[in-house]
Amino acid sequence: MELHRSLSSLKPKFVSVTYGANSGERDRTHSIIKGIKDRTGLEAAPHLTCIDATPDELRTIARDYWNNGIRHIVALRGDLPPGSGKPEMYASDLVTLLKEVADFDISVAAYPEVHPEAKSAQADLLNLKRKVDAGANRAITQFFFDVESYLRFRDRCVSAGIDVEIIPGILPVSNFKQAKKFADMTNVRIPAWMAQMFDGLDDDAETRKLVERILPWIW
């Protein structure tokens, strides 16, 4: 919570909080969200996933948030458990459900370099449009390191009639090996120049200096 107090001076539009699938993690998410709102005054936006949750459970969670003054939700499908089949609900379905419960301010995910499960870039774009058409107010992208990929994606969104704000996802790199692992899992390309800059610098103070140099380029 001390970190949130420090960040509040920067006046962020909102602070999002990731969401666990089991009931214990859900309770912890609720507690963190309430603490941020009560102690810092920042707008707190909980992540809400529809994997491993029934529509009735999701409605109950949504009503609880609304009744506690939470108006902004980050609506996600969530990661599929290993070996599972086709999900019963997608993020677009969750957006529809949330809008039926109350007039939430809803953020959804977008993927400039295409979701790993998408059949094509066009199919991925159409999926984003379904979420927006269902009532999403903005999209937050997967992190990226090639600004051109974001700009091309933004232009494609405009051409597809997606007229909501597309917030770029930024991942500050403090551990390059870990960042590369995340990138490999999420279909994010690491430019050669970036790999060369971080070569041999993990667990080194110079890495933090490189972060300061890189962030203005990708922002």
pLDDT of residue 153: 98
**Dist CA 19 CA 26 (whole Å):** 6
Phi, psi (deg, nearest 5) at residue 109: -90, 150
- Residue 189 belongs to some domain of the structure: no
pLDDT of residue 196: 87
> What's the CATH number where 8 sits?
3.20.20.220
pLDDT band at 141 (very low <50, low <70, confident <90, very high): very high
- Residue 195 belongs to some domain of the structure: no
**Angle, to 10 degrees, between the axis of helix 91-101 and the axis of helix 55-67?**
50
- 118-145: average pLDDT: 97
- Residue 26 belongs to some domain of the structure: yes
- Whole-number percent of the chain with pLDDT over 70: 82
The predicted-structure confidence for 47-92, as pLDDT tens digits, reads as follows 999 888 899 999 999 999 999 889 999 999 988 777 666 778 999 9
pLDDT at 8 over 90: no
- Residue 200 belongs to some domain of the structure: no
Phi, psi (deg, nearest 5) at residue 139: -125, 140
- Residue 35 belongs to some domain of the structure: yes
Q: Are 33 and 69 in contact (CB under 8 A)?
A: no
pLDDT of residue 88: 80
Q: Are 128 and 162 in contact (CB under 8 A)?
A: yes
- Residue 215 belongs to some domain of the structure: no
The total of structural domains in the chain comes to: 1
pLDDT of residue 78: 87
- Residue 72 belongs to some domain of the structure: yes
- Residue 45 belongs to some domain of the structure: yes
Range of the domain at 52: 2-174
pLDDT of residue 98: 98
pLDDT of residue 128: 98
